[in-house]
Structure 1
Amino acid sequence: MNVIIQNILAFSTLILALGFLVRKFIWTPKKASSKSCGSDACGCS
Protein backbone atom coordinates (compact mmCIF):
# COMPACT_ATOMS: atom_id res chain seq x y z
CA MET A 1 0.00 0.00 0.00
CA ASN A 2 2.81 2.43 0.83
CA VAL A 3 4.51 1.75 -2.51
CA ILE A 4 1.37 2.77 -4.40
CA ILE A 5 1.07 6.04 -2.47
CA GLN A 6 4.78 6.72 -2.98
CA ASN A 7 4.47 6.15 -6.74
CA ILE A 8 1.43 8.42 -6.96
CA LEU A 9 3.24 11.20 -5.10
CA ALA A 10 6.41 10.78 -7.19
CA PHE A 11 4.55 10.88 -10.50
CA SER A 12 2.40 13.82 -9.48
CA THR A 13 5.53 15.74 -8.42
CA LEU A 14 7.15 14.89 -11.75
CA ILE A 15 4.10 16.11 -13.68
CA LEU A 16 4.00 19.35 -11.69
CA ALA A 17 7.72 19.95 -12.25
CA LEU A 18 7.43 19.30 -15.99
CA GLY A 19 4.41 21.57 -16.21
CA PHE A 20 6.33 24.33 -14.46
CA LEU A 21 9.31 23.95 -16.81
CA VAL A 22 7.10 23.97 -19.90
CA ARG A 23 5.29 27.07 -18.68
CA LYS A 24 8.54 28.81 -17.73
CA PHE A 25 10.75 28.08 -20.75
CA ILE A 26 8.71 26.82 -23.69
CA TRP A 27 5.44 28.70 -23.54
CA THR A 28 5.79 32.17 -25.06
CA PRO A 29 4.41 34.69 -22.59
CA LYS A 30 2.68 37.86 -23.65
CA LYS A 31 5.02 40.81 -23.35
CA ALA A 32 3.77 43.95 -21.71
CA SER A 33 4.18 47.21 -23.56
CA SER A 34 7.29 49.07 -22.52
CA LYS A 35 6.67 52.40 -20.84
CA SER A 36 9.13 55.13 -20.05
CA CYS A 37 9.71 56.10 -16.45
CA GLY A 38 8.44 59.63 -16.94
CA SER A 39 6.33 61.73 -19.22
CA ASP A 40 9.18 63.74 -20.75
CA ALA A 41 10.81 60.76 -22.59
CA CYS A 42 14.25 61.38 -21.10
CA GLY A 43 15.47 57.95 -22.20
CA CYS A 44 15.53 56.29 -18.81
CA SER A 45 14.10 52.78 -18.72
Structure 2
Amino acid sequence: MNTIIQNILAFTAVGFAIFFLIRKFIWKKPSSKKSCGGDDGCGCH
Protein backbone atom coordinates (compact mmCIF):
# COMPACT_ATOMS: atom_id res chain seq x y z
CA MET A 1 0.00 0.00 0.00
CA ASN A 2 2.82 2.38 0.84
CA THR A 3 4.47 1.81 -2.55
CA ILE A 4 1.27 2.74 -4.37
CA ILE A 5 1.04 6.05 -2.50
CA GLN A 6 4.70 6.81 -3.24
CA ASN A 7 4.18 6.08 -6.94
CA ILE A 8 1.12 8.31 -7.09
CA LEU A 9 2.99 11.17 -5.41
CA ALA A 10 6.07 10.72 -7.61
CA PHE A 11 4.10 10.69 -10.87
CA THR A 12 2.05 13.67 -9.72
CA ALA A 13 5.23 15.64 -8.96
CA VAL A 14 6.70 14.72 -12.35
CA GLY A 15 3.46 15.74 -14.05
CA PHE A 16 3.44 19.13 -12.34
CA ALA A 17 7.10 19.67 -13.24
CA ILE A 18 6.50 18.86 -16.92
CA PHE A 19 3.41 21.08 -16.98
CA PHE A 20 5.38 23.95 -15.44
CA LEU A 21 8.22 23.59 -17.97
CA ILE A 22 5.82 23.47 -20.91
CA ARG A 23 3.95 26.52 -19.63
CA LYS A 24 7.17 28.41 -18.92
CA PHE A 25 9.16 27.73 -22.09
CA ILE A 26 6.92 26.41 -24.86
CA TRP A 27 3.47 27.90 -24.38
CA LYS A 28 3.93 31.62 -25.06
CA LYS A 29 1.29 34.19 -24.24
CA PRO A 30 0.02 36.24 -27.15
CA SER A 31 1.58 39.67 -27.14
CA SER A 32 -0.56 42.62 -26.22
CA LYS A 33 -1.95 44.62 -29.12
CA LYS A 34 -1.77 47.90 -27.17
CA SER A 35 0.74 50.46 -28.26
CA CYS A 36 2.52 52.43 -25.61
CA GLY A 37 1.35 55.79 -26.91
CA GLY A 38 -1.05 58.01 -25.06
CA ASP A 39 -2.05 57.99 -21.42
CA ASP A 40 -2.96 54.34 -20.95
CA GLY A 41 -1.03 53.99 -17.71
CA CYS A 42 1.59 51.55 -18.95
CA GLY A 43 4.35 53.38 -17.07
CA CYS A 44 6.77 53.55 -19.98
CA HIS A 45 7.02 57.35 -20.18
Q: Percent identity among equivalent residues?
A: 50
Comparing both chains, which one has the higher relative contact order based on Cα–Cα distances under 8 Å and sequence gaps of 6 or more?
Answer: 1
TM-score, structure 2 normalization = 0.67
Is 2:14 the counterpart of 1:14?
yes
Gaps of 5+ in 2: none
Please report how far the alpha carbon of residue 33 of structure 1 lies from its aligned counterpart in structure 2 after TM superposition: 3.7
The number of residue pairs the alignment matches comes to 41
1:18-38 superposed Cα distances (whole Å, 9 cap, x missing partner):
0010011001211124553x7
TM-score, structure 1 normalization = 0.67
**Structure 1 residue runs of 4+, over 6 Å off?**
none
Gaps of 5+ in 1: none
CA RMSD of aligned residues (A): 2.2
